[in-house]
Amino acid sequence: MSDETTLEGTVAALRAAFDAAFAAPSQGARRDLVPLLALRAGGAELAVRVLESAGLLPARVVVPVPSRRPEVLGVCGHRGAVLPVFSLARLLGLPDAGEAPRWMLLAGREERVALAFEAIEGHVLVPPSALQRAAGEGLGHLPEIAELGGAGRPVVSLPSVLRAITEHRPGE
């Protein structure tokens, strides 16, 4: 009985929140909050600023191609274009977790690349105060630490990663 009461209450709360979203005046997007995507790559719990990426898509079909760079996993098709797919963990210097990548982040504007990782752990909005600069030198592609759930999570800088990719290209 109590479970049914709880479920009915939950349904009522959801309905009320949904209705309230239409009833409340439009305030636009809250600029004071930073959307983060919590993810896991190479067994490490990381975060990415959502607005730094160009899109999120599942890593359905990745065609392996020969390359001297171990970070390159292959290529994939996206909206009529062929994108190179890189392993985010290998780009960050993390070891392989033995788990196949399931998701890809799109980065770059004109020269888009896909960064594959294992899992999405959530989408959160945090105030800017929850983002702290990493102590010490830190990793080159992980300049910040986000405070999520009482624990610090390194935040990947996609422009840094993209630069590393594009800067390395003339050497190939």
Partner 1 sequence: MERRLTFSQKLALGFALVVVVALAIAGVAVLSLRETVASKDAVIELAARRLVSAERLNAMSFRKAAEARAYVMTNDARYLEAMRTARGEMRRVLDELLAQEHDDALRRLLDEVARVEGEHGAAVDAILADAPREKLEVSAARLERDVRPLRERLNAAVETYIARQRELLEARRRQSTEAAADASRVVVVLSVAGVALAAALAILLGRTLSRQIAGAVRHVETSSAELKAAAGQQATGAKQQASAMAEITTTINELLATSRQISESSQRVASIASDTASAARTGDHAVQRSQEAVGGIRRQVELIVDHMLDLGRKSQHIGGVVEIINELAEQTNILAINATIEAAGAGEAGKRFQVVAEEIRKLADRVAGSTKDIRVLVDEVRAAVNTTVMATESGSKAAEAGARQFAELAAAFSQIARLVGSTTDSAREIELSTKQQATAVEQVNEAIANVAQATREAEASSGQSLQTASELAAMSRDLARLVQKRDAA
Site for partner 1 in 105-124 (CB under 8 A): 120, 123
Size of the site for partner 1 (CB under 8 A): 20
- Nearer to partner 1 among residue 26 and residue 129 (C-beta): 26
Question: What residues contact 130, with CB distance under 8 A and at least 6 apart?
Answer: 34, 146, 147, 148
Q: How far apart are CA 154 and CA 133, in angstroms?
A: 10
The stretch among 45-53, 65-73, 137-145, 146-154 that binds partner 1 (CB under 8 A) is: 45-53
Shortest distance, CB of residue 37 to partner 1, whole angstroms? 7
Q: Does 82 bind partner 1 (CB under 8 A)?
A: no
Q: Does 131 bind partner 1 (CB under 8 A)?
A: no
The stretch among 49-57, 60-68, 128-136, 152-160 that binds partner 1 (CB under 8 A) is: 49-57
Q: Please say whether the beta carbons of 105 and 53 come within 8 A.
A: yes
User: 163 φ, ψ to 5°?
Assistant: -65, -45
Q: How far apart are CA 89 and CA 101, in angstroms?
A: 10
